[in-house]
Amino acid sequence: MPTMRSPACLWVLVVLGVVVRPAAGHADERAAARRFAAALGDEPALVAFLRAFPKGADLHSHLGGAVYAEDVLRHALHRRLHFDPLTNLFATKPSARTVPAARLLEVDRLRYQFLDAASMRGTRPGPAGGHDHFFESFTPAGSARRGVPPEELLATVLRRARLQQVQYLEIMAPVGGAALDRLTAAAAAGVPPAQLLARLQPSIDAYVTAARADLDRWDVALQQALGLSAPPTTVGGPITVRYLVTAYRVAPPEHVFATFAAAFALMRVDRRVVGANLAAPEDHPVALDNFDRHLRDLDFLWRRGGEPSVTLHAGELNLHLAPLEHLTHHIRRSIEVGHARRIGHGASVGWEDDLPGLLRLMRTRRVAVEVCPSSSLTILGLSGERHPFRVYRRAGVPLTLNTDDEGVSRSNLTLEYLHAVRAFRLSYADLKELSRNGLEHSFLPGESLFVGGDYRRVRKGFEQLRARGWRPTPEEQRALGRSERATVQARLERALWEFERQ
Q: Which residues are catalytic?
A: 316
Closer to Zn ion by CB, 404 or 476: give it: 404
Do residues 344 and 60 touch, judged by C-beta distance below 8 A?
Answer: yes
Which range touches Zn ion (CB under 5 A), out of 27-35, 203-211, 399-407, 491-499? 399-407
404 binds Zn ion (CB under 5 A): yes
As measured in angstroms, the least distance from the Cβ of 271 to Zn ion is: 23
Mapped to the 3 state alphabet, what secondary structure does 409-430 carry?
Answer: CCCCHHHHHHHHHHHHCCCHHH
Closer to Zn ion by CB, 404 or 416: give it: 404
How many C-beta atoms lie closer than 10 Å to residue 447's C-beta? 13
As measured in angstroms, the least distance from the Cβ of 183 to Zn ion is: 23
Q: At how many degrees (to 10) do helices 474-481 and 484-501 cross?
A: 120
Which range touches Zn ion (CB under 5 A), out of 27-35, 206-214, 218-226, 402-410? 402-410
Closer to Zn ion by CB, 282 or 454: give it: 282
**Residue 459 backbone dihedrals phi, psi, to 5 degrees:** -65, 150
Number of amino acids touching Zn ion (CB under 5 A): 1
The residues near 408 (Cβ < 8 Å, ≥ 6 apart) are 65, 69, 118, 119, 120, 134, 137, 138, 141
Do residues 454 and 410 touch, judged by C-beta distance below 8 A?
Answer: no
Closer to Zn ion by CB, 214 or 404: give it: 404
> Which position's Cβ is nearest Zn ion?
404
Do residues 368 and 342 touch, judged by C-beta distance below 8 A?
Answer: yes
As measured in angstroms, the least distance from the Cβ of 60 to Zn ion is: 6
As measured in angstroms, the least distance from the Cβ of 91 to Zn ion is: 28
Residue 387 carries which side chain, given as an amino acid letter? H
Closer to Zn ion by CB, 409 or 483: give it: 409
As measured in angstroms, the least distance from the Cβ of 249 to Zn ion is: 12
Q: What's the CA gap between 190 and 178, in Å, rounded?
A: 24
Instruction: Reduce the DSSP state of residue 24 to 3 states and report it.
Output: coil
As measured in angstroms, the least distance from the Cβ of 334 to Zn ion is: 13
Closer to Zn ion by CB, 404 or 454: give it: 404
Do residues 378 and 415 touch, judged by C-beta distance below 8 A?
Answer: no
- Pinpoint the alpha helices (H) of 338-442: 355-365, 373-380, 389-394, 413-424, 428-440
Q: What's the CA gap between 202 and 295, in Å, rounded?
A: 24
Q: What's the CA gap between 500 and 494, in Å, rounded?
A: 10
Burial of 34 (0-12, 13-18, 19+ CB in 10 A): exposed
Which range touches Zn ion (CB under 5 A), out of 95-103, 400-408, 456-464, 468-476? 400-408
As measured in angstroms, the least distance from the Cβ of 207 to Zn ion is: 23
Q: Which of residues 339-378 bind Zn ion (CB under 5 A)?
A: none
Which range touches Zn ion (CB under 5 A), out of 3-11, 401-409, 429-437, 441-449? 401-409
Closer to Zn ion by CB, 345 or 393: give it: 345
- In the sheet that holds 450-451, the strands lie side by side as 18-20, 454-459, 450-451
Which range touches Zn ion (CB under 5 A), out of 28-36, 247-255, 396-404, 480-488? 396-404
Enumerate binding residues for Zn ion (CB under 5 A). 404
